A = this chain, B = another copy of it.
């Protein structure tokens, strides 16, 4: 997503295979679509693009694969405040959690990484004795271009 030029094709595949997870043609198609994405994709977009790679990909397979990737901690699921409908978006998980900011007027998505966010998570773990596996901070409001 943020760094398309540095993505290494086949990395998701290697990561799954390295965990003993079976690889199929359909999964390869789906993985390649996710890796090559230059913007946030929802499930139907992933399905459409994956079908261009392999026409046998079924909708339920896309959802199952996304679910697998989520459970393996390899992708993040976002709803981007549902500004474009009820669906979810998916993106590669990077090393550092970042915040998604969705403009309620123009729909622009801004991403922001912050040390304060990292500190906040550490605080949660410490104060609540909670071991964080996945976190998601999404914000809706007005971007600089749309502010009144």
Query: Which A residues are within 8 Å of any B CB, using their own CB?
Result: 77, 79, 81-82, 99, 101, 103-104, 110, 112, 114, 116-117, 119-121, 123-124, 127-144, 147
Contact = CB atoms under 8 A, between A and B. Distances in A.
Given A116-B116, A133-B104, A128 B140 contact: no
- Copies of this protein in the assembly total 2
A74 B140 CA distance: 15
Contacts of A81: 134, 136
Nearest to A108: B130
Contacts of A104: 133
A54 B143 CA distance: 42
A146 to B, nearest CB: 9
20 contacts: A77-B82, A81-B136, A110-B128, A110-B130, A112-B124, A112-B127, A112-B128, A114-B123, A114-B124, A116-B120, A117-B120, A121-B139, A124-B139, A129-B147, A130-B139, A130-B142, A132-B139, A132-B140, A136-B138, A137-B137
